[in-house]
Each structure stands twice: as C-alpha cells, then as structure tokens.
Amino acid sequence: MRRSAARHTSRTTGPTGTRRARALALIALVSILPLVLASCGEPEPVDRRIMLIGIDGLEWDLMKPLIDEERLPAFARLLEEGTWGEVHSLDVLESPVIWTSIGTGKVPEKHGVLGFVKHGDRHEQTPVTRNVRRVKTVWEILGENGASVGVIGWLATWPATPVNGYLVSNYFVFEQPPESGRTSAITFPEGLSEDLSRFVVREDDVDDSRAAEFTGEEVPHEGPERVKFDALKGFIASDETIRRTGLHLGGAMPVDFFTVYLRAVDSPCHIFWVDSFPESGQGATAESIELFGEVIPRYYEYMDEVLADFLELADENTTVIVTSDHGFEGPERVGDAYHLGIRMHDPTGFIAFAGKDIVAGGELADASVLDITPTILALMGMPVADDMDGRVLAEAIDPSFLRAHPVTTVDTYEDGDGDISGESDEEPIESPLDDEVREQLRSLGYIE
C-alpha cells in the first residue's frame, strides 16, 4: 500500500524532484517537530491491511441475547475492542443489490445491479452476473492504485475479471467440484479454482452427525423434516467451503485488502425462522419446532467460530470490518397472508470496525451500507470520490489518524465522468450453473 499512496501523492504534488526536495525537508523536520508534520505536511503513506468480512443477514436483535449469554465470544471481542452499531440498508432488500452498494459506495441506480435476476426478465430469470455492474468496486480502485487484493465469494462477481491479486467468484460454491469445468472464469487467475478444489465441501460431504449439532443430535430420516435437514447441510457446505478457501488464501497469499462473503445466517433464517418463532408464520409443527427450534442461534455460534478463525489472520497492522447487508425480522404479515423471501429481511443490519486506528468502545448511530467503501478509502489514505453516495464513518476512526490523514476527495474513479443512472444495458451471462442458482433462490423464496 505504500506504493499506492506514493502514486497518489505524485499525482497531486507535481514533479518528482519537487516531491523529493520536500520529502528531504520533511525528514529533517520529522526528528524535531513531528506534530508540525502531522498538521501541515503532506499526509504520510498509510501502511495498513484491511479485512472486510461480509456476513449475510446478521440481526442485532438475535445477536444481543447470545452475546449476553457469552455464546458469541468473537463478536463480543469486536464490540469490546471496536466501534459498532446497526447499519441501514437500501430500499431494495435483495442481497446482490446491497452487496454491490457495499462494495462500490454507490446506489443501485448507479451500479446497475437491481436484483437477484435482471428486472423484467421473469421468463429467463438469469441470475445477475458481474458484467451487469458498471461502476468500480473498492477492490478495483485499491488495486489500480497499487494495493494487492483478495476477494472471495462476493455475490455478482462471476465471471471473475482480473484484479491486482485474486478473486474467487460466487459461482465457486456451485461448481462442485470446480474441476468438473462446467463453466469458466470461476476464479481469477483462472487456474486458481483447480488448486482450491480441495477446499470445496459438498452437501454430501456434510455428515448427518455434523448437521445434527444444530438439531440437538436428532437426525430426521424422511418427510419434510428430512428436506429441511438436507437444506441445512447445503448451507453448512457452502459456508464451510468459503471458510476453508478463505483461511487458506488469507494465510498463504496475504494481501493489503482481503474480503470474504458468507451466505451464513441469512439462509437458515429463511428456512428455520418459523421453528424458532412459531407464532410469526405458518408451517411449524411440534416436531419441526423440537428439531429445528435452535438451528438459528446455533448457526450464529457457528459463524462466531468462523469469524474467530478469520480474526486469527489479522495482525496489528490490520483494520477489521464485519458487516451484514440487512437484518432479519421474519415473515411479513398482510391480512391472512405471510410474505416470505426478501420480505423477511429487516432494513437494518449489523456493522463493526476493530483493529488498527479504530476507536475502542465506540458506537455508530447512523451508518449506511453506502458508507463502507468511502470509509475503507479513507482508512487507506486515499481520496473518496464525489460520485459515491456514502460518507466516511469518521466516528469509528482514531482522531489522530484523521488529523495525519485528512479525508480528501476526487470527482470520480470511473473511467468516464461517472454520470450514469438507470438499468444496465448489459444482460446477465447464462451459465450451466443457472438451474442450481435459480433453485437456491427459489428455495429461499427470492424468485418464483
């Protein structure tokens, strides 16, 4: 990251000779007047790593009692050592839309990803793909400015396009095993997916006994309970694949900006909510409540273990961000009807910052999913773009860092003038995995 900040400095301060002379003068000053340097000189390059952990559907109302019962020690550590709060989502509570806003700092009208499938595309229902997004992500901006990046599992990142590091697209968990070669560009570099195939966990790889850790050791053998039990195995397989892949890459290929996306608590909440809260909807039976009533809190415990593993990768130079895209509040009742799918989502999720240059014990009162990218840029000492729609969450950041690295702005990081709106012209790209992706979206109530 030193390199990138230097590049940015050279763009804004003119010829290298002038810069060098100024740098020498500053070096002379630094030994006697560090405070002068901090307040008057050019910002120093920022030496930092960022780890952004995305967990779909984290709901504070579910987390709080579990933290109080000391069942989520890794999350509790974040709260104690960091700054956290609820995060406001968008009007549209479809995950690919929100995650793209998290990763770009821009509203959907600008980034172009407007749903799980392209709107108006009710027949084909091709899952939304990378090409539909028409603005840059924070990892692309950082990469173009010299930072190395690693991106794992983010929605709407297939087909994988080049980054300054590596990218494992969201189709990696569907391509089982990856070496089956049903589609290309699962990862960047392309050959990475084959190397990572040993970390793939399939639904069939999850033993009944593993899934039974979520059901009080009970294993249903037939009927609708068995169908739900197998769905649970699928969720574990997907998250375990990302956990193992992410821990391997994060450990073996350290980067300046590392991010991982977990489907995590969102999927179990869709399927098992009525068993935890039978009065909130329809369909729970005495048997299903007995079997599945504790799946959701146990899945939070599982995610806490996964979080703890990733936090192990963070060194003293790392700033950690954990965020969800939305929360969860169960079926929406209108008259006698219960609406599922995205209408089970709560428009506020959970966000926490911790680690280097983060205020300990701070609270975020008014954070938005749009603020995450601007805040990452500020933490990296880079300008925020005026065409981004969020703000820097300065209340989370150590004031001494912001004094040394005041937030600056540029018009845009886009190649054009950044002045775009409306639906993307790009059609989603079809893939042999589409039937499986659609089946997953259907099972969660997202599409018909």
Binding segment for Zn ion (CB under 5 A), chosen from 61-69, 137-145, 258-266, 406-414, is: 258-266
Residue type at position 268:
P
C-beta of 164: minimal distance to Zn ion in Å?
Answer: 31
C-beta of 275: minimal distance to Zn ion in Å?
Answer: 16
Q: How far apart are CA 113 and CA 426, in angstroms?
A: 10
C-beta of 396: minimal distance to Zn ion in Å?
Answer: 26
Q: Report the residue number, 164 or 267, with the smaller CB distance to Zn ion.
A: 267
* Cβ pair 294, 26 in contact under 8 A: no
Q: How far apart are CA 160 and CA 139, in angstroms?
A: 13
Q: Report the residue number, 341 or 383, with the smaller CB distance to Zn ion.
A: 341
Binding segment for Zn ion (CB under 5 A), chosen from 42-50, 58-66, 72-80, 262-270, is: 262-270
Q: How far apart are CA 151 and CA 137, in angstroms?
A: 11
C-beta of 303: minimal distance to Zn ion in Å?
Answer: 15
Nearest residue to the partner Zn ion, using Cβ = 266
Total residues contacting Zn ion (rule CB under 5 A)?
A: 1
C-beta of 306: minimal distance to Zn ion in Å?
Answer: 18
Q: How far apart are CA 241 and CA 79, in angstroms?
A: 27
Q: Report the residue number, 102 or 379, with the smaller CB distance to Zn ion.
A: 102
C-beta of 293: minimal distance to Zn ion in Å?
Answer: 20
Q: Which of 59, 86, 94, 266 binds Zn ion (CB under 5 A)?
A: 266
Site for Zn ion in 208-237 (CB under 5 A): none
Binding segment for Zn ion (CB under 5 A), chosen from 5-13, 46-54, 265-273, 429-437, is: 265-273
Cβ partners under 8 Å of residue 441, min gap 6: 116, 117, 127, 447
Q: How far apart are CA 54 and CA 59, in angstroms?
A: 13
Binding segment for Zn ion (CB under 5 A), chosen from 82-90, 125-133, 148-156, 260-268, is: 260-268
Q: Report the residue number, 131 or 443, with the smaller CB distance to Zn ion.
A: 443
Q: Report the residue number, 266 or 304, with the smaller CB distance to Zn ion.
A: 266
Q: Report the residue number, 266 or 389, with the smaller CB distance to Zn ion.
A: 266
Cβ partners under 8 Å of residue 103, min gap 6: 137, 138, 139, 154, 372, 373
C-beta of 57: minimal distance to Zn ion in Å?
Answer: 5
* 134 phi/psi in degrees, rounded to 5: -120, 15
Site for Zn ion in 20-59 (CB under 5 A): none
* Cβ pair 158, 170 in contact under 8 A: yes
C-beta of 186: minimal distance to Zn ion in Å?
Answer: 24
Q: Report the residue number, 118 or 345, with the smaller CB distance to Zn ion.
A: 345
Cross-strand bridge partners of residue 368? 88
Q: Report the residue number, 53 or 79, with the smaller CB distance to Zn ion.
A: 53
**Contact residues for Zn ion (CB under 5 A)?**
266
